[in-house]
Amino acid sequence: MNANTNDTIVDIVKERYGAIAEGKTFGSCCGGSGREALAVGCGYERTDLAALPEDANLGLGCGAPVAYLELKPGETVVDLGSGAGIDAFLAAREVGPNGHVVGVDMTPAMIAKARANASRAGFSQVEFREGRLESLPIADASVDAVTSNCVINLVPDKAAVFAEIARILKPQGRFAIADIVLDAPLPTSIVADVSAYVGCVSGALLRADYLSMLAEAGFETVTVVKDIDYLAAAGDLSSDPVSGALERAGMSQADIAGKVRSITFRAVRR
């Protein structure tokens, strides 16, 4: 993609997720009927969801990565693409009142919703900053842990995101991330369709290419802790942007079955 295409994609992603934050449309990444079912399908515990502000869960993840961070009281955590705050708030419960959680999101409507949720639920150790993942508003080597949930696939320059994660983590800092990767190339008509991009499919990289970026950015001990068929888990895509892309290409979900994977993985900064 060239710079102009990248900028267009970023604008479209921002517009769609802003509309979700404002309740103008609904987005889902995990399957099920209703946001709680979607979140449980991703791996969240119902008891955890019940302890969070209702508006924090917008059904947009493809995993439950905070559970794999093994957070300790007093630690500092950054949530990339924090949305309405679900993972930031789960992290806050783990690090406690003496810890610090920073959510970063590029969508003003999401930031506003997350801040309102934090205020309403009394999460004083959580703050939300507007910013791009390729240029995080976080100081160098200031963070113990990083998480992100089904967001990096939406960023055109993924290598820049991993470089930024390495920059903000302390030495031996770690992350746990849920994201979308491909186990086989997608048809070119799907790759070129922006609707499939905002639907977390056509922006995904081949698994080997994606994971190689981690080593290049300075991460080691990369471990995939969960690996599922993303589209099978999503179930009925009739209201999802991916369905329109498939229809325009004259394809069905079966034509790309098994190629699109939701993985949750951990790594440590050298």
The angle formed by the CA atoms of residues 77, 210 and 172, to the nearest 5 degrees, is: 35
Q: Quick one: pLDDT at residue 235?
A: 63
Residue 236 scores a pLDDT above 80: no
Structure-token pair, residue 201: 């499919």
Which of 11-15, 83-87, 149-153, 228-232 has the least mean pLDDT? 228-232
CA distance 123 to 118: 5
Structure-token pair, residue 247: 């229809």
158-209 per-position pLDDT tens digit:
999 999 999 999 999 999 999 999 999 999 999 999 889 998 999 999 999 9
Domains in the chain: how many in total?
Answer: 1
State the distance between the two ends of the chain, measured CA to CA, in whole angstroms.
Answer: 31
Residue 3 scores a pLDDT above 60: no
**CATH classification of the domain holding 111:** 3.40.50.150
pTM for this one?
Answer: 0.93
Residue 142 scores a pLDDT above 70: yes
Q: Quick one: pLDDT at residue 215?
A: 95
Structural domain boundaries enclosing 50: 3-269
